[in-house]
Amino acid sequence: MTTPTDNQDIARRRKAAVRTAWVVGVIAIGVYVAFILSGVLNA
- Is residue 38 over pLDDT 60? yes
Cα 4 to Cα 12, 13, 15, 18, 37, distances in angstroms:
12, 14, 16, 21, 49
pTM of the model: 0.72
**Residue-averaged pLDDT of the chain:** 92
Tell me the C-alpha distance between 42 and 28, whole Å.
21
Q: Residue 43: what pLDDT?
A: 75
- Is residue 3 over pLDDT 80? no
What 3-state class would DSSP assign to 26?
helix
Q: Residue 42: what pLDDT?
A: 84
38, amino acid identity:
S
